[in-house]
Structure 1
Amino acid sequence: MTYETILFEQSDGIARITLNRPDRLNSFTRAMHSELRDCLQKLGDSRVVVLTGAGRGFCAGQDLNDRAVAPGEAVDLGETVEESWNPLIRTLAELQQPVIARVNGVAAGAGANIALACDLVIAGKSAKFIQSFSALGLIPDSGGSWHLPRLVGQARALGLALTGEPLAAEKAAEWGLIWKAVDDELLDSEVDAVATKLASLPPLGLAAIKKIIRTSWSRSLDEELDLQRDEMRRLGFTHDYREGVAAFLEKRSPTFTGK
């Protein structure tokens, strides 16, 4: 499939997806949702995904022009959320591969919440995260109302959502909203280093880490301990675990196959 609104490339176990509507700050249209959905189904043997935006921004959320609604006219936003945004957030959460958001500029509205739905967020220091919903009388969708309080606590989540004030990347990292903020000129090298490292690690273990941490909110401590036992048993019988131990003892680099 030839994509018109995204760029997609795969090499060395890394799938790189770029939202490619820089003239509209990579805001989403139905076409972009469709292309991204197709792309995420074609990851093949890629072991890590990097999601970013072209140009000076990461993503400005929904392209309001795409709805072609006249001023003052009503529109069913729930339909848009159900059809496009919710499936995307669920897909990012359920992918076996770790997903890195490379935030190179403004991430606003649903664009900010797409980044927060990824597993690791690495941002340039000039980047900003904006919960821009309150200005339109809306709520933080695309997982925003779920991720925000879990990442930064209720007080800060309410502050960000109610005021819509931009949050600088360094402050976002200080608050624990994102993994790391780096100098803009170091963003590519940092993301590449993390992606390369993840691509070299045992994929079954990474998938298990992602799943168990993302779902831990729904379990008690006793249930978590039982699940940890079961997962350690399962992973301990994999070829990759045996290879990792052998490589450590033999003082060589391991070769993981995902088996």
Structure 2
Amino acid sequence: MSCLLVRYDGPIVTARLNLPELRNPISEPEMIEAIESLCAEIQQNPSVSVLIITGEGKGFSSGGNLQHMKEKSGMFAGEPEILAENYRTGIQRIPRAIYQLDVPVIAAVNGAAVGAGCDLAMMADIRIASDKACFSESFVKLGIIPGDGGAWFLPRVAGYARAAEMAFTGDMISAQQALEWGMVSTVVAHEALMTEALALAHRIAANPPQALRETKKLMRLSRSASLDEVLEASAQVQSLLHQTEDHQEAVAAFLEKRVPTFSGR
């Protein structure tokens, strides 16, 4: 049985974390490899426009495998220098793979997102939560810190003060509180979660694929670049997109009041 269930629906890919009996930890080597491989595959596939990540079963993701932590086995085995390398070559591959992905990523949070599972949700561009979802940056309660980049992702989503409250207390917050804090875009009835996530994905995928990927890259650049750097990048990209067939089709369809048909060219 695969630890990651992947479904292609035209330009939309849905990936379900599939270790429900463990609440979908992402510290397992096979899960790390599966997520990294899927991101690489999507990156090279111009027909894909959106990735949805969700969890199978009751939880979104429990983050690290606590039994392995207790046993000091798997990625949690070894002396400090070995452990540090385990993080670099293990779970830290996930934030890099998702962050470098040029297509928009939606996290459909179906249940508890705890520790690295909370961070996984924060790695997405957009989060939709079931009313059964909850979030906890729980590392401090285990006497550790976010080793997967959570200290970088969470403040950028929730703001520093909210992220600090979550990281310093390790408290669990509800889906409604996450909505009030701006961590999720919307909260929906549990049964409607995937319907809403797919509807959003289809609205995104209805746009020209080249422009969509370039918009994502520009949004990513804006996190660290100056205004001048973003303006220069915008000018360069815009000059190329103006030459595409999809741009011409989009303008013509708008003026002719019809639905456009995009080719990716």
What one-letter code is carried by the residue in structure 2 that aligns with 1:86? Q
Q: Is the 8 A contact 2:40 2:97 kept in 1?
A: no
Unaligned runs of 5+ in 2: none
Q: How far has the Cα of 1:91 moved from its partner?
A: 1.2
Cα distance change on mapping 1:141 and 1:257 into 2, 3 Å: farther
Match of 2:228 in 1: 222
Cα distance change on mapping 1:217 and 1:12 into 2, 3 Å: closer
Q: Is the 8 A contact 2:51 2:106 kept in 1?
A: yes
Match of 1:49 in 2: 51
Q: How many residues align?
A: 257
What one-letter code is carried by the residue in structure 1 that aligns with 2:15? I
**TM-score, scaled relative to structure 1:** 0.92
Match of 1:139 in 2: 145
Aligned equivalent of 2:186, options 174, 180, 191 = 180
Once the two structures are aligned, what percentage of the paired residues are identical?
37
> Is residue 36 from structure 1 mapped to residue 30 from structure 2 by the alignment?
no
SS at 1:237 equivalent? coil
2:216 & 2:41 partners in 1: Cα distance? Answer: 20
Unaligned runs of 5+ in 1: none
Question: What CA RMSD, in Å, does the superposition of the two structures yield over aligned residues?
Answer: 2.0
Q: How far has the Cα of 1:245 moved from its partner?
A: 0.4
Match of 2:8 in 1: 10
Q: Is the 8 A contact 2:49 2:212 kept in 1?
A: no
Cα distance change on mapping 1:217 and 1:48 into 2, 3 Å: closer
> Is residue 168 from structure 1 mapped to residue 174 from structure 2 by the alignment?
yes
Q: How far has the Cα of 1:197 moved from its partner?
A: 1.4
Q: How far has the Cα of 1:74 moved from its partner?
A: 5.2
1:23 & 1:62 partners in 2: Cα distance? Answer: 14
Match of 1:64 in 2: 66
Q: Is the 8 A contact 1:116 1:178 kept in 2?
A: no
Deviates more, 1:230-239 or 1:45-54: 230-239
2:257 & 2:169 partners in 1: Cα distance? Answer: 54
Match of 1:245 in 2: 251
1:168 & 1:238 partners in 2: Cα distance? Answer: 45
Match of 2:155 in 1: 149
2:35 & 2:155 partners in 1: Cα distance? Answer: 27
Q: How far has the Cα of 1:32 moved from its partner?
A: 1.5
2:38 & 2:77 partners in 1: Cα distance? Answer: 35
**TM-score, scaled relative to structure 2:** 0.90
